[in-house]
Structure 1
Amino acid sequence: MIPSVLPTYNRAPLAFVKGEGSWLTAEDGTRYLDLGSGIAVNALGHAHPALVATLTEQAARLWHVSNVYRVPEQERLADLLVARTFADTVFFTNSGTETAELAIKMVRKYWYEKGEPPRTTILTFEGAFHGRSTGAIAAAGSEKMVKGFGPLMPGFRHLPWGDMAAFEAAIGPETAAVMIEPIQGEGGIRVLPDADLRAIRAACDQTGALLILDEVQCGMGRTGRLFAHEWAGVTPDIMMVAKGIGGGFPLGAVLATEAAASGMTAGTHGSTYGGNPLGCAVGATVVEIVSDPDFLAEVGRKAGLFRQRLEALVATYPDVFEAVRGQGLMLGLKCRVAPADLVNAGYGAHVLTVAAADNTLRLLPPLTITDDEIAEAMRRLDEAAASVSRGLSSTSD
């Protein structure tokens, strides 16, 4: 018999009833150190006092009015994002998937209004994850995501990750846009080199193609800059943002230049809940905290400490791990075993991690994680790795 909740997830046998900072408490009272942050969502940890205060205050005033009217909280958050980024304008959504849909529509409408409606091809990359709507899975193109869901939306050309020769051969006057994650999250914490991102930006400038950056997982301070593309010194035309921007409240945003957004006039897009007062009030508090230079500097410092200790962990268990990947507090352990084995061993050590593609274990702790919590994380990760290593030894015997 099918359960009342549609069984589309392979859920762990855990349920949590309380969260505080970097910690989650299960139904039986056991505390777990959370190195997943709801998959990079809880950027400021669980129940951050500033977010609780903002949400409580806003909830007592106004929850929803719809986009038929002006939404002052929405305008405030948009102003903050415009002031702190490349963008001239912002559209608010509820999720990263919705940002992908709008980004695709924005590109196509841009070229339609410029008198080139056939220019619809968007270049995307193997290993990408842009969401689970029909448009987003067509953009990613992996068999795992698209099998059984055809016919797919046309207009995407999938290129191998990291192959700049293939990219340079593919982009041309008929290319509408390039859509890429500066760091692939679901794809295995694979970092796009700064030089490659600069080359992609230059090729877009040369051909007129728009550059869409998907910073749903790598943005909002996770790399030690507000957005990951800042390390390369380039700017996109369109950027997808979600996850961390709401600090746990469902919120996403598409940021764009005036030129890229020029086709999106009244009636061309909409959202019932997107940009609601609750989400935008919380989002503004998150942006104010995360964009502070001192906060970002601390993310960088803690990331260096965490990575150094992870390198030591890899050296200690060469039968389990291959290398450390990532940037800032978006880190991955390339594994020689199935990442799921380490995730499960982590449950026994009371530490939460997230599996990814390319045999990689994701570590996405709250940006507020403390030095003591990093030390405790390493103790628990060591326990999990030792458990997996012992299993390998017993199997070989």
Structure 2
Amino acid sequence: MNQRDLFLRHVAQTSEAPLALEFVRAEGSYLWDAKGKRYIDLIGGISVCNVGHRHPAVVAAIKDQADRYLHTMVYGETVQTPQVGYARLLAEHLPPSLNCVYFTNSGTEAVEGAMKLAKRATGRTEIVGFLEAYHGSSQGALSLMGDEYWRNAFRPLLPGIHHLRHNDTRDLARIGSQTACVVLETIQGEAGVRAPDAAWMRALRERCDQVGALLVLDEIQCGFGRNGTLWAFEQYGIVPDILLLGKALGGGMPLGAFVADRSLMYELASKPVLGHITTFGGHPVSCAAGMAAMRALLAERMVEGVAERETWFRTALENLPGVRALRSRGLMIALEFDSFETNKQVIDRAIAAGVFTDWFLHSAQSMRIVPPLNISREDVQRACEILALCISS
């Protein structure tokens, strides 16, 4: 029995028609399958591989930490150098009020931790999310998801969660005295790259301040330079009370985090003690890998090249026949067609031609383009040439 058949038999499936591509190697912006075919990767692990696959510094950090120690004790009980070093590095590149990091295993777990922290700190029970939002698949994160199709089969979900319209000033009045927090993707990802107006973001920040609600910004997909600044919220002139990180945070290893001021985060340390706990969160190998990736991102000035690469993609793709819209914020790009069926046909053709891409959960008619931030001009040009052929055929 081959690997694909074993995969379908023994690995739990998330859909009835998985891609089932067998990748055996990855490097930079490329993936290779078991037959030796090379693909230009326009997914980047869905915003995970910002510095490319297997960046040498990341691989070296993983090997070095594996030679020192792996798991020692549940999170927060022992001093682990990779955790301390990475938390300090993050704090050095965030606003002063975002100075304390709680590492988790994933972005979804960061969402859960932030929801608990907001309830504990404010004593309130209501949480506000947004339509077409995506924050993960666990019960709490799923309750925040702003699309009934994805959450209806798993009811009952968490009570006290209200969904507002994204980028609609009229709805802000629904944030009130019982709101513990407002959870928002700084740039909506699965909605097909939807960026809010700067004035609306400032009004949201002001409304949270007026009623004493915490503002939680989810940068799990858009963080670490993907939108052209290190943090997407920098483009709006606001600072969240809690910042959610994941995906690129681990440099290809599993890692998430929620970040807040130490005085706020300390609410989880008592009443009850161990108010939030994880066994493997902030694993030393993941933290070592993530710290190496962030240092490479900064040292190689990858963020500074994002706007130029965005222009390369836009110039090549936005005026193609059949493309209804192209939305982008840095290297977070949605290429919209008339239907999911059209989009899926183009995606399948692209994969067959050696370009790896996919679609968005809440915008199934749109193709996802989120490559490594250091993708070369030659690879962008080649990928766009292939996509143009796939669209026109």
Q: TM-score, normalised by structure 1?
A: 0.91
Q: Distance in 2 between matches of 1:23 and 1:332?
A: 21
Q: Distance in 2 between matches of 1:335 and 1:55?
A: 41
CA contact (8 A) 2:57 2:296 kept: no
Q: Distance in 2 between matches of 1:46 and 1:295?
A: 14
**Count of residues in correspondence between the two structures:** 375
What residue number does 1:77 align with? 86
- 1:349 corresponds to which of 347, 350, 353: 353
What residue number does 1:130 align with? 135
Q: Distance in 2 between matches of 1:325 and 1:336?
A: 15
Q: SS where residue 33 of structure 1 aligns?
A: strand
1:348: how far off? 2.0
- 1:193 corresponds to which of 190, 197, 204: 197
- 1:364 corresponds to which of 370, 382, 385: 370
CA contact (8 A) 1:348 1:384 kept: no
Unaligned runs of 5+ in 2: none
Q: SS where residue 92 of structure 1 aligns?
A: strand
- 2:327 corresponds to which of 325, 345, 365: 325
Q: Distance in 1 between matches of 2:178 and 2:112?
A: 21
- 1:98 corresponds to which of 105, 109, 133: 109
Alignment of 1:1-397 (within 5 A): 3-9=9-15, 10-66=17-73, 67=75, 68-86=77-95, 87-112=98-123, 119-166=124-171, 168-265=172-269, 266-292=273-299, 294-311=301-318, 315-317=319-321, 320-338=322-340, 339-356=343-360, 357-358=362-363, 359-387=365-393
Q: Distance in 2 between matches of 1:46 and 1:362?
A: 18
1:13: how far off? 3.6
Q: Distance in 2 between matches of 1:25 and 1:34?
A: 10
Q: SS where residue 109 of structure 1 aligns?
A: helix
Q: Distance in 1 between matches of 2:161 and 2:300?
A: 38
CA contact (8 A) 1:65 1:276 kept: no
CA contact (8 A) 1:125 1:140 kept: yes
Q: Distance in 2 between matches of 1:382 and 1:141?
A: 33
Q: SS where residue 189 of structure 1 aligns?
A: coil
1:78: how far off? 0.5
Q: Distance in 1 between matches of 2:333 and 2:348?
A: 19
1:274: how far off? 0.8
CA contact (8 A) 1:122 1:157 kept: yes
Residue type of the alignment partner of 1:322: R
CA contact (8 A) 1:226 1:290 kept: no
Unaligned runs of 5+ in 1: 113-118, 388-397
Instruction: Tell me the alpha carbon deviations over residues 23-65 of structure 1, each in whole angstroms, 9 at most, x when there is no partner.
Output: 1001111111100011111111111111111111111111111
Q: Distance in 2 between matches of 1:219 and 1:386?
A: 33
Q: Distance in 1 between matches of 2:143 and 2:223?
A: 23
Q: Distance in 2 between matches of 1:62 and 1:173?
A: 47
CA contact (8 A) 1:225 1:296 kept: yes
Residue type of the alignment partner of 2:137: R
Residue type of the alignment partner of 1:323: A
Q: Distance in 1 between matches of 2:193 and 2:84?
A: 33
Q: Distance in 2 between matches of 1:210 and 1:74?
A: 26
Q: Distance in 1 between matches of 2:346 and 2:127?
A: 36
Instruction: Tell me the alpha carbon deviations over residues 159-194 of structure 1, each in whole angstroms, 9 at most, x when there is no partner.
Output: 12222212x221122221110001111121111222
Residue type of the alignment partner of 2:375: I
CA contact (8 A) 2:47 2:248 kept: yes
CA contact (8 A) 2:106 2:254 kept: yes
CA RMSD of aligned residues (A): 1.7
1:293: how far off? 8.3
Q: SS where residue 39 of structure 2 aligns?
A: strand
1:134: how far off? 0.5
The percent of aligned pairs where both chains have the same amino acid is 38
CA contact (8 A) 1:138 1:146 kept: yes
